[in-house]
Chains A and B, each alone.
Chain A
Amino acid sequence: AQKITQTQPGMFVQEKEAVTLDCTYDTSDPSYGLFWYKQPSSGEMIFLIYQGSYDQQNATEGRYSLNFQKARKSANLVISASQLGDSAMYFCAMSSGGGGNKLTFGTGTQLKVEL
């Protein structure tokens, strides 16, 4: 069985600062994908970044980077230069057999960016 753990129910960060959202995972599949999604109050799920289990380099997408530490089974999201618009719920998720399949989600981290 797959499991995603997000231990931070809520986080605060000041505008323009960087913030790290933690995510650890557990799976017996050798091939898997790790995702981060942003969910604003409107409810939509916005894809942020993806890391495949066989990817050698950490994924980056603009201000988002994924700190993938395979041995520790962690996939932390780093948001640089936080903006007020980054305030939202953030979910870490995992799929088996790479990406594009059904996802197992963590419980989420509510991020609040302050002036």
Chain B
Amino acid sequence: GAVVSQHPSWVICKSGTSVKIECRSLDFQATTMFWYRQFPKQSLMLMATSNEGSKATYEQGVEKDKFLINHASLTLSTLTVTSAHPEDSSFYICSARDPGGANEKLFFGSGTQLSVL
């Protein structure tokens, strides 16, 4: 069953506002979570690695001040898109690994479709 919960599934916001997306591991503790971005008809691109209790590690070209990541507990990571603009409209999806599971136990959330008007 689903072990990573992502909320909300979709959000529409006005340009200039901030949007928070939550990613929760439901039945395991995740010291590391990953945030990806996917444009229509394209592949998933890693944005950042979310580390519990420390700063996130951002991929090259991803604005740290634009995409704020907070991993305050072992089961929750949040991605905040600050001062969103239409070009931030995209599908955002998180993933997490069950450290007690086998290597392939890398679970994805159901994703969040963000539309900025």
Residues of A in contact with B (beta carbons under 8 Å apart): 33, 35, 37, 42-45, 47, 49-50, 52, 91, 95, 98-108
Chain B residues, Cβ within 8 Å of A107? 42-43
Contact of A102 among B42, B43, B49 (CB under 8 A): B49
Chain A residues, Cβ within 8 Å of B111? 43-45
| B97 in the interface (beta carbon within 8 A) | yes
Task: Report the interface size for chain B: residues with CB under 8 A from the other chain.
Answer: 22
Contact of A100 among B43, B97, B113 (CB under 8 A): B97
| B44 in the interface (beta carbon within 8 A) | yes
| B105 in the interface (beta carbon within 8 A) | yes
Find residues 23-41 in chain B having any chain A CB closer than 8 Å to their own CB. 34
Find the residue from A91, A95, A100, A105 having the highest chain B CB count within 10 A.
Answer: A100
Q: Could you give, for residues 61-100 of chain B, a 1 whenever the CB lies within 8 Å of some chain A CB and a 0 otherwise? A: 0000000000000000000000000000001010101010
Q: Complex: how many Å from CA A101 to CA B113?
A: 24
Interface SS of chain B: strand
Contact of A45 among B93, B99, B113 (CB under 8 A): B93
Does B43 lie within 8 Å of A44, measured CB to CB?
no
Chain B residues, Cβ within 8 Å of A105? 43-45
Chain B proximity of A67: nearest CB distance (Å) = 17
Does A35 lie within 8 Å of B44, measured CB to CB?
no
Chain B residues, Cβ within 8 Å of A42? 110
